[in-house]
Amino acid sequence: MALVNPHGKEKKLKPLLLSGSELEEAKSYAKTLKKLSMTSRETSDLIMMGIGAFTPLEGFMGKNDWRGVCDNFTMEDGTFWPIPITLSIDKEMAADVKIGEDITLLDLETSEIMGIITVSEKYSIDKAYECEKIFKTTDTEHPGVQKVMAQGDINIAGKVKVLSESYYPTKFKDIYMRPLEVRKIFEEKGWSTVAAFQTRNPMHRSHEYLAKVAIETTDGVLIHQLIGKLKPGDIPANVRAVAINTLIDKYFVKNTIVQAGYPMEMRYAGPREALLHAVFRQNYGCSHLIVGRDHAGVGDYYGPFDAHKIFDEIPKNALELKPFKMDWTFYCRKCDGMASTRTCPHPKEDRLVLSGTMLRKLLSEGQEIPDHFSRIEVLAILKDYYASLSKNDKVDVKLNKASRGEI
């Protein structure tokens, strides 16, 4: 059997990242154009288009696509898409932008040339409307709402050429992979059914359990961790990678797991973001997405299983990928093992509920971690990371020691 098709009507990956002489010519041309600095979210979205993860998108969305995605999960041509992928500018710059014009796109933080957009449209939107539709709230305490409300007043749309992804393969060279590269690994392993496990945290026992349940019914699992920008307090990707590799080496059967990183920035959009995770995981070759409790959520903005329900609200043919809807999982002292509400008959006082938020809190405050919360080898790496923060030591040195078993 073959892997699932990439998303979209053409059923083939559409990476927009240039290479070779075409890239060099575009870089020279870009230096002659008007410049636009993008936010970190816009930059990461551009790179996702560049590597083909956002197939079949060819650029930033116009107003009809924006409206269709907000209202009906579909772009103007009928393509299923759950979250607007847009580029904004302020009113002053918008007045100077002409339809048909090429503009160089820069990363705001580094000023690196990232791409070129050919402007096909400029339009205003109702930001509060987008937030209500996508995040189910207009509360500016929500990190995703904050970013939408802070963006420019005018969106510009158009096809893009992507000229760089250099930050990610340089900083995350061991785990950063494009969809074509991941698909090749799956094909070499002879896999056709693959479950994606989304994470922005080191994996605790509940995460491990979910991955192992998926392995029982698929050829393997892609542990796919986010390496884009996170919110303050989240554990850095290089720390997570070492912890996850240690877990894989010691607690999973060989050749059942692939770990990779992807360059998107979290929106914390809960159910809508679960659908976006499904779209680009299909592009990576995954047939299933593990959807657990409060997938891609933040705070108390979403119900614990809203991300399960939303897959039942979209058209049946919207995606080839299917969700693995996982129940609330925990360690049960009476069962003496990992369990879920569907398998454990014991009361809540016998259950140790696990969460990444709780683990980060306990570690950052130097509190004792309850037994069975996480594997001891993983905890050793995470404790050392937090100790290095308080001592102002270099994290990478400590991580190398932990990964060699010297701690």
Residues taking part in catalysis: 200-201
Amino acid sitting at position 121: E
- Do β-strands 102-107 and 113-124 pair in parallel, antiparallel, or remain unpaired? antiparallel
Sheet-wide strand order for 351-353: 337-340, 329-332, 351-353
Q: What is the dihedral of CA 368, 369, 375, 381, to 10 degrees?
A: -60
3-state SS record for 95-154: CCCCCCCEEEEEECCCCCEEEEEEEEEEEECCHHHHHHHHHCCCCCCCHHHHHHHHCCCE
Question: Among candidates 251, 249, 257, 34, which has minimal Cα distance to 156?
Answer: 34
Cis? peptide before 56, omega within 30° of 0: yes
Q: Which two tokens stand for residue 374?
A: 């996480």
Q: How would you classify residue 161: left for phi > 0, otherwise alpha for psi between -120 and 50, otherwise beta? A: beta
Phi, psi at 195, each rounded to 5°: -100, 130
Listed in sequence order, the residues at least 6 apart from 391 whose beta carbon sits closer than 8 Å to its beta carbon are none
Q: Which two tokens stand for residue 266?
A: 């979290």
68: exposed, middle or buried (Cβ count in 10 Å: 0-12, 13-18, 19+): buried
